[in-house]
Amino acid sequence: MTADVVPLSSVVDAARLLRGAAVRTPVLDAAHWAGGPLGLKLENLQPTGAFKIRGATVALARLSPDARARGVVTHSSGNHAQAVAWAARALGVPATIVIPHGAPSGKVDATAALGAQVVRVDAASRVETADRFVASTGGVLVAPFDHPDVIAGQGTVGLEIVSDVPDVAVVLVPVSGGGLISGIAVALASRGVRVVGVEPELAADAEESLRTGRLVAWPVSSTSRTAADGLRVPSLGELPWEHVRRFVDRIVTVSEAEIADAARLLALRARVVAEPSGAVTTAAWLHHRSSLPPGRTVAVVSGGNADPAWLAGVLSSAGNSI
């Protein structure tokens, strides 16, 4: 199948919808410690700690009044759950979030604290449970990445980057289901900026897909081993895949040790907390620079909801790059 890519006009409209609803995050200069022209787009400073608030807010804001009254449903073990709960509260929309057992308790508690109805199920039945709520309530399912309005919302990250760093040449973006990189690619397609994806070596399905030209999935037995819990989705979504193969320059992979090293330096030199998924782009810059296109680069630090014990461990390690 061939899906249409999201138009730039939808991303521009999303930026209007997000004014005052999401933080217009800064790009922090890292050149003085990163050994070259690197900026950090600090999406970890969003109120829920991740960029996901953008796509969720746009998806909900574009619902009809009738659909809003019926409410929204989603399933997620991570940052999308909090983002939908946050946007639902802001817009006065009832929200039901299906969260599998085993999800980090901090993220579950944060979602419930935002006023969403949280339903806990076994991981295997999360989709079925969400579908059942959709059927019984008439609510709208808000997919985490395979959704044009979500992609448009995430694309506003790209608009802000070119506005703040007009001479940017390369943007590094974490890749999981592909919503973020798809939106950013749309925002930058006409600007001559090269968009490079970054994945953990243990969850490099998109790298394989782009390299081989066909959409592949990786087994959970591999992807579950990366500390980057936000990047464990086994495959790009179908709509993101259309964007990635048309717009994305290349995808670089990083090791678990490189992710930890990058998170340590983000804490000690940039003084920000990144979760492992948010540190992969800085890891690519620090450890795989010869694989990246040249020029002024912005790394998207996509989220900061790090497990405290993981972060404490990272800080206690000696590190190797600086």
Question: For binding to a second copy (CB under 8 A), which residues are involved?
Answer: 23, 26, 28-29, 32, 44-45, 47, 49, 264, 267-268, 270-274, 304-306, 308-309, 311-313, 315-316
Q: How far is the CB of 208 from a second copy (least distance, A)?
A: 31
Q: For a second copy, which is the closer residue by CB, 25 or 223?
A: 25
Bridge-based pairing state of the strands 72-75 and 95-100? parallel
Q: For a second copy, which is the closer residue by CB, 23 or 162?
A: 23
Measuring CA to CA, how many Å separate 12 from each of 4, 142, 151, 153, 184? Answer: 17, 21, 12, 9, 12
Residues linked to residue 100 through DSSP beta bridges, in sequence order: 121
Q: How far is the CB of 306 from a second copy (least distance, A)?
A: 8
Q: For a second copy, which is the closer residue by CB, 244 or 265?
A: 265
Do residues 282 and 265 make contact, with C-beta atoms less than 8 angstroms apart?
yes
Q: How far is the CB of 85 from a second copy (least distance, A)?
A: 12
Spatial separation of the C-alpha atoms in residues 53 and 79, rounded to whole Å = 8
Q: Return the sign of the alpha-carbon dihedral for residues 194, 57, 52, 303.
A: positive
Q: For a second copy, which is the closer residue by CB, 189 or 272?
A: 272
Task: Supply 240's token pair.
Answer: 């993101």
Q: For a second copy, which is the closer residue by CB, 210 or 311?
A: 311
Start-to-end C-alpha separation, the chain: 47
Measuring CA to CA, how many Å separate 282 from each of 41, 184, 240, 270? Answer: 11, 17, 23, 11
Spatial separation of the C-alpha atoms in residues 12 and 201, rounded to whole Å = 34
Q: For a second copy, which is the closer residue by CB, 65 or 308?
A: 308
Q: How far is the CB of 195 from a second copy (least distance, A)?
A: 24
Q: Rounded to 5 degrees, what are φ and ψ at 150? A: -65, -45
Q: For a second copy, which is the closer residue by CB, 30 or 248?
A: 30
Q: How far is the CB of 250 from a second copy (least distance, A)?
A: 29
Q: How far is the CB of 115 from a second copy (least distance, A)?
A: 12
Q: How far is the CB of 205 from a second copy (least distance, A)?
A: 28
The per-residue DSSP string of 165-194 comes to -TT--EEEEE-SSSHHHHHHHHHHGGGT-E
